[in-house]
Amino acid sequence: MAYNKSKIFQQAKKAIEDNNLFSIEDVLAFVPCKRSYFYDKFKKGTDEMDTIKEMLENNKVRTKSSIRAKLYRSNKAAELLALYRLIATPEEHRRLNQSYVDQNSNDKKQQWPTSISFQVHPTEAKDGE
C-alpha cells in the first residue's frame, strides 16, 4: 500500500493535538500506516520526528502541570502527599519513603531502611477474664 508521507505527518500532528497524546506508540494508533513505514520515513533526528517529539513533550509538560495544580488545590492528605513527593528534594524524598534505596548513588555503603524491633510483653489476665 502506498502512503503519502506529508499526509501521514499532518495526521500525526492533528492526532497529537486533538487527543493529547504522549508517545510515538500513541501516534501510531492514529495514523493509517504500518509501524515500519512510520519509523522508516520519520527517522530520529529528522525535522518531522523532532516536531512530533516536541509536540508530545509539550503535551506531557502541560498535563503534568495541570495535575500538579489540581493536587495543589486539594485538601486530601493523600493528594497533597503525592504532590509533595513530586516536588521534594532527594533528602525529603528519602525521609518520606520508608523503603527508599538509592540505586544511583556512587556511595559504597548501602542505604537500607532502618529496622525497627520491639518486644511484646504478655499482660497478666485480670480476674474474670
What residues make up the domain containing 52? 5-96
Q: Are 43 and 49 in contact (CB under 8 A)?
A: yes
Residue 80 lies in a domain: yes
Number of folded domains that form the chain: 1
Residues whose CB falls within 8 Å of the CB of residue 97, separated by 6 or more in sequence, listed in order = 85
Cα separations in angstroms, 124 against 48, 118, 119, 121, 128: 78, 19, 16, 9, 12
Residues contacting residue 37 through CB under 8 Å, at least 6 positions apart: 3, 8
pTM of the model: 0.66
What would the mean pLDDT of 71-78 be, rounded to a whole number? Answer: 90
Q: Cell for 14?
A: 492533528
Amino acid at 77: A
Residue 65 included in any domain: yes
Examine residue 15 and state whether it is found in any structural domain, yes or no.
yes
> Can you give the pLDDT at residue 85?
84
Residue 102 lies in a domain: no
Query: In this structure, is residue 54 part of a structural domain?
Result: yes
Q: Is 129 inside any structural domain?
A: no
Given a cut of 60, whether residue 65 has pLDDT beyond it is yes
d(CA 88, CA 129): 51
Mind listing the pLDDT tens digit for each residue in 36-62? 999 999 999 999 999 999 999 999 999
Give how far the C-alpha of residue 65 lies from the chain's centroid of Cα atoms, to the nearest Å.
12
As a whole number of angstroms, the distance between CA 67 and CA 4 comes to 37
Long-range contacts of 21-24 (CB under 8 A, 24+ apart): 21/56, 21/59, 22/56, 22/59, 22/60, 22/63, 23/56, 24/52, 24/53, 24/56
